[in-house]
Amino acid sequence: MNVPARPRLLIDVQPPLLGLMLTNVLTRLGVDEVVHIGTATPAGVGYDAALTTAIRPADIAAPVVIKFPDQEGNAGIGEIPTEKA
How far is the C-alpha of 75 from the C-alpha of 3, rounded, in Å?
43
> Is this model's pTM higher than 0.75 or not?
no
Edge to edge, the sheet with strand 8-12 lists 33-36, 8-12, 49-52, 64-67
pLDDT tens by residue, 17-32? 888 999 999 999 887 8
SS (HEC) of the chain: CCCCCCCEEEEECCCHHHHHHHHHHHHHHCCCEEEECCCCCCCCCECCEEEECCCCCCCCECCEEEECCCCCCCCCCCECCCCCC
Q: Which of 4-13, 14-23, 52-61 has the lowest mean pLDDT?
A: 52-61
